[in-house]
Amino acid sequence: MHDIIIIGGGIAGLSVGGRLSREANITLLEMEENLGHHTSSRSAAAFIEDYGNKTIRELNRCSKPYLQDKDVNVLSPRGSLFLAKKTEKEAFKRQCIEFAHDEISVDEAKKLVEIVDIKTAKYSAYREDILDIDTDKLLQHFTKIIKKNNHKIHTNSKVSKISFKNDKWLVETDDNSFSSDILVNASGAWVDEVALLAGVRPLGFSPLKRSMARVPAPENVINHKKWPMIHGVDESFYAKPDAGELIVSPSEETISFPHDAWPAEEDLAQGIFNFEELVTFSVKRITSSWAGLRTFAPDRTLVIGHDPENSHFFWLAGQGGYGFQTSAAASELASDMVLGKKSNLAYLKDKVSPKRFF
């Protein structure tokens, strides 16, 4: 049986840990007190099959059956509504094609979301099969599998030193040390830093910050909880019902660095302004806000595979804005590769391989 250390207790580390825990000895190390503390607790929790490039879309498509399986069951209906101003016609039409949305009249849009402002919203389109992901449930699902298989998850365990000798890793935290044959790097925004610690060449990942404001839902509306996700053109904002309120994101991509991210007030204000331009509702206050780091490889495709210069080092990185919706397929492919098993997803290996950066 392989001994495997996984660094990172977000969706990437937990999902691959869950898969591997059936056939290998795994140890998962997470530097924070709680699992999913960083990007994995800050997402919009959406499953949009046609979001991302061709490889990402394939990973989304292949993940869906697992996420819908009755024992996992984390997807639920949401729908998606595009709204655009008169001046945005061209971009709107392009976006409808790219994301396979059907154009509907603004009156129809108003039936779906009663706060649509027919004075400013001149174009609208809808797609029904956009889904919500219960991200907490998915994180717990994989955590439970790891624990059920009697493997250890160590929180409060920041990896600070890594050495490699005689084909074995020695991984050290402040008060412990662990050894393994294989090291899986699933450390989100920190993947290049962890690679450097391990003496592996970093691949040039970019953590891009994206923020979110939670605001009270408008009063006197009928069942806003059923509203679809609402998008402006070219990601000028998105908004969706969440926990009895609305979340509104400016959809920004601010170049950042690995850290505990927080939102800038001007970004939140811009997102809310763009949203308010198309609806008859004005936001009176922000209940809470947060930001997370969407970490992308230079070509915005996940990186899954053994490092070409040290085959004991395995990358599971660059989940960008798709970490939950790709998680089932990405973790299946990753665990098959780590275990040297034949994979149903082997046709994607080259597309996601770290070799493309060498």
Ligand X SMILES: Cc1cc2nc3c(=O)[nH]c(=O)nc-3n(C[C@H](O)[C@H](O)[C@H](O)COP(=O)(O)OP(=O)(O)OC[C@H]3O[C@@H](n4cnc5c(N)ncnc54)[C@H](O)[C@@H]3O)c2cc1C
Which residues contact ligand X (rule: CB under 6 A)?
7-13, 29-32, 36-40, 42-46, 158-159, 186-190, 194, 210, 212, 249, 292, 294, 319-325
Residue 41 or 280: which CB sits closer to ligand X?
Answer: 41
Instruction: Choose among 277, 272, 262, 330: nearest CA to 301.
Output: 330
Mapped onto helix, strand or coil, the DSSP state of residue 46 is: strand
Residue 256 or 280: which CB sits closer to ligand X?
Answer: 256
| CA 353 centroid distance within chain | 19
CB of 128 vs ligand X, minimal distance in Å:
17
Rounded Cα–Cα distance for residues 141 and 77 (Å): 20
Residue 45 or 246: which CB sits closer to ligand X?
Answer: 45
Cβ-in-10-Å burial (0-12, 13-18, 19+) of 262 comes to exposed
Contact indicator for 271, 214 with CB cutoff of 8 Å: no
Residue 121 or 323: which CB sits closer to ligand X?
Answer: 323
The CA radius of gyration of the chain, in Å to the nearest whole number, is 21
Instruction: Choose among 26, 9, 14: nearest CA to 339.
Output: 26
CB of 105 vs ligand X, minimal distance in Å:
28
Q: Which residues contact 212 (CB under 8 A, 6 or more apart)?
A: 42, 44, 247, 248, 249, 263, 289, 290, 291, 292
Residue 86 or 144: which CB sits closer to ligand X?
Answer: 144
CB of 79 vs ligand X, minimal distance in Å:
14
CB of 277 vs ligand X, minimal distance in Å:
21
CB of 345 vs ligand X, minimal distance in Å:
18
